[in-house]
Structures are given as C-alpha cells and as structure tokens.
Chains A and B, each alone.
Chain A
Amino acid sequence: MTTDVLIIGSGGAGLSAALSAKEQGADVIVACKSLPNNAQTCMAQGGINASFDINEIDTHISDTLRSSHGLGSEQMTRTMCENSAIAIEWLASIGVPFSLDEKDNLAKRFMGGASQKRTYYAQDYTGLKILHTLYDNCLKNGVIFKNERLLLNLIVQDKTVQGATFLDITTGEIEAIYAKSVVIATGGYSTVYHGFTTNGIGSTGDGIASIIRAGGVASDLEFVQFHPTALKKSSILVSEAARGEGGYLVNSEGERFVNELAPRDEVARAITREINNGKGVFLDLRHLRREKLTELLPQEMKLCRLHEGIDMATELIPIKPAAHYTMGGIEVNDSLETRDIKGCFAVGECSNAHVHGANRLGGNSLLEIIALGRMAGINASKFEPKTTAKNQEQLLKDKHFISGVYNFTNQINFYEKREFLGKILYHNAGVIRNEIGLKGVLAAVRQMQKEFTFMGISDKSKDNNTNLVEFIEFGNTLEVVEMLLVGALHRTESRGAHYREDFNSENETFRSHSMFWKEDGVLCASFEEAK
C-alpha cells in the first residue's frame, strides 16, 4: 500500500493534518488503532484558546510562556497563537457548532492561568464536536481510513522515513504502508500510569516509542500534568468546574487544607501530601445543595453515581490526583519535522513542539492539535523524498517479531506487571518525586524489560487479538517509562509539573530540555539549553 501522506492517529491532530494535506492535493491515508472517533480528543470538555488581535495574541503568548516555566519556545508559541484565530474560524466554517453569546458572537470563557477570556467552547463537548466535525469533513474530502491498525514501527532508511508497519488487528496480518511523508499523531502517554489516569486506555505512547526505536529523538518526558480531582477508584475526571462553583477539598478529619482555586499542580501536591500522610481526601459539594448541583454539574453527578456509587448532594466524593496530560514527546523542529528523521512529522500530544514547556495552559491543547495539526499536514504534503525506495526489511523484521511473540513463554503475566508498574510509577514518579523512589522504579522497569520475553500472550488467535495489542502497548509503555524516569531522575530541580521534594525549587541550570535517543539499543540522555 502506498500513499503521499500517511497519518498515524485519528484524533484532532491527525484529522486536521489529513484535511490540510488533502487540501494541498496530496493522497492521504489515516491509520488508527481503533475507529476514527475513539480518540482522546473527544474527552476535552473545556474549550480551545484563540486570540484575535495583536494585544490578545501578545497576552496569550505571555500566559503560555509563564505557564511553561522557561521551557516554552517563544517562536513556536507565537506561531501557535498567531494561527489561533485562523484555526477557530476554519473550525467554525467547516461546521463546528461553537456556543454563542447573547449577541450571537462565539462565546468565550476564562480558564485557569489566563489573564484574558479566550477559551471558545461548544457546550461541555468541545473536543467531541470538533473531532466529529473533522471526521465528517474527512469523509467529504475522500480521506482514506485504515481502521484497527496498531503502529509497530516506522520504516526508515538513510535517516528518511518511507512509511510504517502495522498490525492489522482484524486479520492479524503485518502490513506496510509506504508514503512520501508521515505524520505521527498518536497521542500522549498518560496511560503508563495504569489505574491512575484520567485518559482512555490507549494513551500508551506508541508513536514516541516508535520514534525512539527508529533512531529519532524524544524530549521532556518527565513533564506530566496531574489533574487534582479524579475519582478515587476509577480515576474518572471530576471537572475543575466543581471547585470553580465553590466546592471544598477536605481530608478525612474534615479539615480544609488548600486554597481550592490555586493552580492545578499546587492543589495536586497538597492533596498528595495529605494522602501520603495516611489521610483520605474528598471533594465536598454538599453545601451547594441538590438543586444547584443538578443544574450546574449534571455530568459529574452522573459519573459519581455510576463509578463511585456516591450521591454528591449528600456524600463526600473520594478523590485523588491522576495523570491527565503529557507535555513531553517526540522532539520536532519549528516545521514539526522530527529530529534526525526526515519526512517524518509529529503533532499533538505525542510531540514536543515546545509550546507547553513544563506545564500546559488550559485550552492550549485543542489549539495545538488544530493550528499545528494543519501546519503538519501542509509541511508533510510538501516534503519530496530523494528516492521512492521501499525498504522491505522492517516489514520482514516485524513479521518475524510478531510470530516470535506467539512463542514467548508467557511465564509472567504482563497484566500484573502493568498494574504494578502503574502503581509504583504513580507513587514514586507522580505528583511528588524523589531520588530514591525514582531509582527504585527505574530498576523495576529495567527488570521488566529483561523479563519481557518471559511475558507474552495466552490468547494465540491470529485475528482480533486484543491480548496481543495490549502486550505490544505494554512494550511501548516500558520504552516510554524508562525515558520518563531517567528525565525525572536527572532533573534535580522542581519546575512546572515536575516536583522533586529533594530539590524543591527551580534551578536556572536546568532551563533546558531533556533529550532521549538510542544508540545500539541503549538509551542515551542529555540536556539541551532551551531557546
């Protein structure tokens, strides 16, 4: 199979890239591991930031850079913010039903960390409505979808991408899709914190792992944003609106212990300290009374009842912080091309375009996937490879690997390891970190990497084998987590979402990006000064 532009991932970033590449006249294939709309984008409720005049753009840039704690690139942030008005106008023109104010203009609201109202929304379903509108437009424009394809590896020769290999989950066959250029839009890696994330089950950093295996570079993986209020048992998100409307955070002794409206990372740390001291933490909304709660937080009421068996009008809601968004990712240049692999672009949560730095400003993630997503599609469609060679070697290697997996001994249950890893990562490389904890988890991860071939699958079916899919995702998890831990260990300071209790302040010498790559299969890391 051959195309001009291969896009891997069908969230907002992938579909924006697909549409803009198509507009340029390129043939486009979108390959995704489930169905096109089953992407993390649909879970974004809050909204999308946009700035319309020079003053707004300047404040947007300075808010974003402040939130990035010295790691945001002014150039890329400017590119994103300057393209924000075009992005939202484009979305509106293709049909996204944005909410309107009383004068029938697009409605906007404040989000945390913003010094101006600039977040546009479509009820509480901003991400869902954007994603589905993009999908409808992809159908209109004849974008080809290859559904239920799990990315295995990039096909790279002479440091230039030629396509990628996939497991066709339905048939169990391994296939190659060759392309003049590739856009990776596979989403973040919050799900490595298995059991402790607000994300869906598929955010396992597949694209990041593939870039590392292909000789590319990833960066800043230690920066993970934790949302303060996820339900204790299920990690389902309880929106910030619950605190915005006047909800209290209390510990098991009934004491309030933090200003509920402080920035996310501060609140998350305060909650974690309480939990580490053996106390439970609860969101208390009872004083808002049932009538008001039904009107203001109907979704949250339903989720609490369903996932926690709690009536928020009469009971305390047990909560914990949970991994929510990953700032680090595939290292890209100002054209979104990946470092060291030509013709390969990355965009969205899987990438590190240096627009979020050490912490992301609310409303910028949807903006990034649209504004930079479109840019990635255009740049990818313009890329002309020097040769149209089709290296078969990777395909053969991957066929060999997958058939090998069927013969792994399966003496160790990887599901147990996945659960254990999620737990130790959360407690030692989560909201509050220190050297001993990080070293301990890193040792455990390296042990699991050694044990990988003793794990395996017990479902030996060829077709529709989700046991195999989850096993490969776990392999990717182990790749990504190693980098996350090495970064967190070597960054002996606290900055943005990365907090070390043994180095609890920002250190100017670390105003730099952690970089990760592999040489002869061994992980290498260094710091590179931020621009």
Chain B
Amino acid sequence: MNGLSGNTWFTVAGIGLSETLLLSIALTGLFALLAYVLGRSLSASPGRLQVVAEAALTLMTEAVAEVVPPAAVPRVLPFIATLWLFILAANLLGLVPGLSAPTRDLSVTAALAVLVFLAVHVYGVRAAGWRRYLRHYLQPSPILLPFHLISELTRTLALAVRLFGNMMSLEMAALLVLLVAGFLVPVPLLLLHVIEALVQAYIFGMLALIYIGGALEAASTSESPSPKEPAT
C-alpha cells in the first residue's frame, strides 16, 4: 500500500492496475463463481448454502421493500444487494493478512458513490420520466434548486468519503496497534473490524436505498420531500 491509494501491481498497455482494482476484480470473480455454482445447484429441497443464500436474499428483499414501493423492489434489489455483498466482502478482505480492503481506496468508494448517484437518477427517470423527475428539483420552490443540486453532490461525496474514511482509519489504527502492542492485543480490534465492516456495508447500502427510494417517491409525488439522510 502506497499512501492512501492502492499499489500498482500490474501495468497493461501502459495502464496501471492497482491492488484495490485487482482485489475488486477477484471479488467479482469469486462472487461470479459462487453465484454460478449456487445457481446450478438450486433444488426444491435446499442444502445449507442454498438456505443461507435464500435467507440472505429474503432479508435483503424485505429491507428493500420497507423503503421503496413494492413494484420497484425487483428493479432495485439487485443493485442494493450487490452493493451490500460487494462492500461487505471488500471490507472483510482487510482481515486477510497481506491484503488491504479495497474500500480504503478513495477511487473505489468514489466509484461506488458515483454509481449510486447515477442509479438514483436512472431509477427516478425510469419511474417517472425526465420531465416529472427533474421537476421535483424545483419543488417546493425553484429557489431551492441550487440547494437540491448541492445536496446531490454533497451526499454523493459524503458516501464516498464516509466509507473510505472509516475503513482507512480502521486499518490504520489496527496497523498502529499491531506495531505498538504485542501479538494478541489487536484481536479485539480485528473483531471491531468485522463489526465495522458489517456496519459500513449496511450504512452504504441503506443510504443508497434511501436515496433511490427518495427518487422514486419524488417521481410519484413531486410534492413530497426526499427522505432525510440518517445520521451516521
């Protein structure tokens, strides 16, 4: 790890492939393999892995259904579920000795935040159309349009920086404790890392879900305000 950005492990055609990018691609491959294997082994009498996968998918479906309208759940669920799974796996990857969490790279968290930013507008426009969706930026008064735009930018920036800052600081703290203290002292910190990984993944996904839900809500009723962003 070089500074706060990932190390460049390979260079292909003059393009440097960083550690975080390669780990992200590895995670994608791992998820794809797991999904393929699980998808091929689905049966009417599920095994343990299928039961866990179905339980996780059911939980995520219920969480999404609590925020967005029921009709939008099938469209929103894949994006939010993938966000949760990817960020959780990426956060936990920092526990593997010799590897660092991809989410401690601002480029990764910024890419995820931009994806959320784009997804919010894509879902909003698909639900209500351009005119109706853009009109909600003028509600309740056109004077508030700059504030709406600033809000869109700042919350996207907050998403990226929050996840990046939490994971980076956590790993830095763990590294410092490991350097200063003995062998067993960092163990509680590693447990905290697990909790933090879960919480940050949940927060990022829930915030994305709330933003999308706000866009869908604004599309359906341009009068109603967007849901408030929960404090973290």
A-B interaction: no
B residues touching A (Cβ–Cβ < 8 Å)?
none
